Homo-oligomer: A and B are copies of this chain.
Amino acid sequence: MSTESTETTERDEEPVMGEQDREREEFLRVARRAGEAAAGLAPLPRAAKDAALHAIADALVAAAPEIVKANEADVARAREAGTSEYMIDRLSLTGARIAGIAEAVRKVAALDDPVGATVRGNVLPNGLELRQIRVPLGVVGIIYEGRPNVTVDAAALCLKSGNVAMLRGSSSAYESNTVLVNVMQAALAGTAVPADAVQLVPGTSRESVKHLMRARGLVDVLIPRGGASLIKSVVEESTVPVIETGVGNCAVYVDADADIGLAVEILINSKMQRPSVCNAAETVLVHAGIADAFLPAALAALREAGVTVHGDERVRAHDGAGEVVAATEDDYRAEYLSLDIAARVVDSLDAAVAHIRAYGSGHTEAIVTTSQAAAKRFVALVDSAAVMVNASTRFTDGEEFGFGAEIGISTQKLHARGPMGLPELTSTKYVVTGEGHLKGRTG
């Protein structure tokens, strides 16, 4: 630290460009090139974009040894830093995984191009032809964590929708991401798509993320993908419009009128089918009228699955095995992503809705009921991106919804909500065609 201070003093005497200024200059240079590339990419037809995606897929497979080598350096550094095996696994790339990533790029090429589609159109009373058509957003910033496959997935989805991707992955994957982006840019150099259409945000410091977050006018939208704290900091610090994704505190509500066996199955599937993801259930709410019948079966099934239940007093009253932990307010708010679940008995459907409004994250809630009236009321009152009736919360997913791919699951209400496919990566513009139409007269 003292060395640094001395350096600062020296700089003060003879000013040179500091490290932070250099990083910012470099960022602005990259962002401006991204903007130029966006202008060139936007009007390209589907065939040009698909050809570029296939060139990227081929190049990734061809460069697999080089990519694996860079990745080994990242993995070695992560091991030295004492990273968990789970995180090491997410970080690691093999030849087989790279082949899978390339295959996913080819799958994106096969999807419909959202750009140019007419959203609505008509002829106005004065004879003007009005069309609202889909256009790319422009430059899309993606901030994400460990997994380097996101680098390619996000770039492919952006490219297909006519957008330039500005990628900012975890610093732990910086060498892998650098090689992946270099390979993609080299592949694009031989196509109609500008090579600058895929960009890595330079640098690994916290400052480098801030440059991206403050780049209003250069970056059209930021999509943070990761944990709650990452997303919160992006939302608070960004002047670029943000699409919040992914935090899921999802609830299963078991109504007074429910098939007990079905309710247990949906609860266990929602919790257990993949506990570490955002659409896994983190809370179960049980109508008081069915608690006596449902809770013994549910608690037994959860125990068998290895799930720790954090229950309120009324849930614990049904806990023969004495294994239910007392729930706190924090449990009701928790996105556990683990083998834990909060449980509460509620006196009515409306009380379940009030609990969800107070503690939920607006991702996905499910009702299990045989009552048409209860299903209708739950759907009308629950304000979440997805509401499931007699289905597992795990179905909230771009693939499941038939979108072919997803860039994330939006939990905000502006622009996109729920799984985001290619159309959600577009904006629109109005094209108005006249024959010398003047306002105040009919043309």
Contacts and interface: CB of A to CB of B under 8 A. Distances in A.
For the residues of A in contact with B, the DSSP-based class is mixed
A9 B381 CA distance: 50
Interface string A391-427: 1101110001110000000001111011100000001
Contact of A273 (B266, B400, B440): B440
A248 B65 CA distance: 52
Interface in A276-300: none
A427 B357 CA distance: 17
Nearest to A413: B427
Residue among A235, A262, A357, A388 with the highest chain B CB neighbour number at 10 A: A388
A352 interface: no
Given A383-B138, A429-B417, A434 B388 contact: yes
A236 interface: yes
A16 interface: no
Contact-residue bracket for chain A: 35 or more
Contacts of A413: 137-138, 220-221, 427
Interface stretch (A93-101, A122-130, A335-343): A122-130
A433 interface: yes
B391 A443 contact: yes
A338 to B, nearest CB: 18
B395 A432 contact: yes
A256 interface: no
A212 interface: no
Contacts of A42: 381, 383
Interface string A367-401: 00000000100011101111111111011100011
A235 to B, nearest CB: 6
Given A241-B414, A414-B220, A439 B130 contact: no
A402 B235 contact: no
A216 B239 contact: no
Residue among A128, A388, A413 with the highest chain B CB neighbour number at 10 A: A413
Contacts of A273: 438-440
B433 A43 contact: no
